[in-house]
């Protein structure tokens, strides 16, 4: 690859280079900026620079391979039920398992994670091959709700809950929950559902720690309008259908892309996986019918786990101001409509 020019290649009608690369599914915008700085990207046989804009007809190469015009025209999205003990990076210097190891392979581009969960947090992660979609969903301006189920050790007072709703000054600025709902529990181990409008590092844990309390379990159960279906167990993923992919693009305020066609072999694998889950759900229904317990899986937008730790006599709902881009609000009361 030739030496980088001293000035960026500019075109008033073009798009930012990192945006084009992200849309092609090569990674997030931030990651594409790093690739440009590392000299991995070229425009018309010249090494690219940050600030470059490209127009239709220009040749873009990444690691010496031409970017096809069709790259990024379709998309794939999935949700993944992350267990604890996995990291959200592609490679871990300590050799720990990463969330990418269990995901299916993609024909072009690669999976981009929409946000992260820390090593000791489980729950919903969204992946897409559209880096621009991921970037828009993660941007603070999107104001997308993230809902968590959290188990707290310690005596929780009304004053503590009010403080976390009003806002607490942390090392990186003020943070607050927009909703807190009791979820049951006994003694000093209590469950709560909480909602955040952003995704700062360890924010849920740090908010509770600011009140002298310890988080012993943490699980993300919702991202915007997407929930973890009960049929998707820890370590499993579910490829989203067109109607659910459209929900993600609506949340990001972007025009929806067509869902990429799967190879016949991969489609057969997914059909076998669905059939297997169906048999498990059928067995669960039979168990319930005979009084042996179990529960069937729900749809993508189900509220899995919502009443799992619900108190028999829940306290008054606590609600902060503000609402995210979610057509289905959090924490409906039993027998009431929101």
Going by C-beta distance under 8 Å and a sequence separation of 6 or more, which residues neighbour residue 175? 167, 168, 196, 198, 200, 203, 206, 207
Which helix (H) or strand (E) element contains residue 127? Answer: strand 122-128
- Is pTM beyond 0.95? Reply is no
Q: Where do runs of H (alpha helix) occur along the chain?
A: 17-23, 29-37, 131-138, 158-166, 203-209, 242-251, 264-289
Residues ≥6 apart with Cβ < 8 Å to 187: none
Establish how many alpha carbons lie within 13 A of residue 107's alpha carbon, considering only the half-sphere containing its beta carbon. 16
Rounded to whole angstroms, how far apart are CA atoms 17 and 34?
A: 12
Average pLDDT, whole number, for the chain? 79
Q: Within 10 Å of residue 41's Cβ, how many Cβ atoms?
A: 25
- Tell how strand 214-223 and strand 122-128 pair up: parallel
Statement: 15-66 belongs to CATH 3.10.290.10: yes
Tokens of 218: 């943490």
Please state the φ and ψ torsions of residue 29, each to the nearest 5 degrees: -60, -45
HSE-CB at 124 with a 13 A cutoff on CA atoms is 26
Does the pLDDT of residue 328 top 50, yes or no?
no
Cβ 112 vs Cβ 106: under 8 Å: no
Q: Helix, strand or coil for residue 211?
A: coil
Q: How far apart are CA 44 and CA 227, in angstroms?
A: 44
Cα radius of gyration (the chain) = 22
Residue with token string 């030739």: 2
Tell me: pLDDT of 199 over 70. yes
Write the DSSP string, 44-81.
Answer: TTEE--TT-EE-TT--EEETTEEPPTTTTSEE-EEEEE
The CATH class that applies to domain 74-251 reads: alpha beta
d(CA 42, CA 12): 19
Domain with CATH 3.10.290.10 in the chain: 15-66
Q: pLDDT tens across 262-284, in order?
A: 766 666 766 666 566 555 444 44
Least confidently predicted of 30-39, 43-52, 134-143, 257-266: 257-266
Q: pLDDT per residue over 120-174, tens digit each?
A: 999 999 999 988 899 899 988 889 999 999 999 989 999 999 999 999 999 999 9
* Measured distance CA(119)–CA(218) in Å, rounded: 11
Residue span(s) of the chain under CATH 3.30.2350.10 come to: 74-251
Q: Of the given ranges (78-87, 141-150, 294-303), which has the lowest mean pLDDT?
A: 294-303
Task: Cite the active site residues.
Answer: 118
């Amino acid at each position: 690859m030739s030496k980088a020019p001293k000035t960026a290649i500019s075109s008033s009608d073009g798009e930012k280079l990192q945006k084009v690369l992200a849309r092609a599914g090569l990674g997030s915008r931030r990651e594409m900026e790093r690739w440009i700085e590392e000299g991995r990207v070229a425009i018309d046989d010249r090494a690219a620079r940050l600030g470059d804009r490209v127009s239709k007809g220009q040749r873009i190469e990444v690691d010496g391979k031409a970017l096809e015009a069709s790259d990024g025209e379709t998309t794939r999205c999935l949700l993944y039920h992350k267990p604890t003990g996995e990291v959200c990076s592609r490679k871990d210097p300590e050799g720990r398992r990463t969330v990418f190891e269990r995901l299916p392979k993609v024909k072009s581009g690669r999976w981009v994670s929409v946000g992260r969960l820390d090593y000791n947090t489980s729950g919903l992660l969204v992946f897409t091959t559209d880096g621009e979609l991921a970037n828009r969903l993660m941007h603070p301006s999107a104001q997308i709700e993230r809902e968590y189920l959290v188990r707290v050790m310690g005596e929780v007072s009304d004053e503590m809950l009010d403080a976390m709703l009003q806002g607490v000054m942390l090392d990186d600025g003020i943070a607050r929950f927009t909703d807190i709902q009791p979820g049951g529990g006994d003694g000093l181990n209590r469950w709560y559902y909480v909602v955040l409008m952003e995704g700062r590092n360890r924010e849920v844990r740090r908010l509770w720690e600011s009140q002298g309390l310890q988080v012993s379990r943490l699980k993300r159960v919702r991202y915007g309008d997407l929930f973890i279906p009960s049929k998707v167990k820890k370590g499993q993923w579910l490829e989203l259908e067109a109607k659910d992919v459209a929900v993600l693009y609506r949340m990001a305020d972007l025009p929806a892309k067509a869902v990429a066609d799967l190879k016949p072999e991969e489609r057969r694998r997914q059909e076998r996986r669905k059939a297997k889950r169906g048999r498990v759900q059928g067995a669960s229904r039979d168990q319930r019918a005979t009084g042996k317990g179990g529960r069937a899986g729900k749809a993508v937008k189900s509220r899995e786990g919502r009443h799992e730790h619900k108190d028999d006599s829940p306290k008054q709902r606590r609600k902060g101001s503000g609402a995210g881009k979610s057509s289905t609000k959090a924490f409906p009361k039993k027998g009431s409509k929101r």
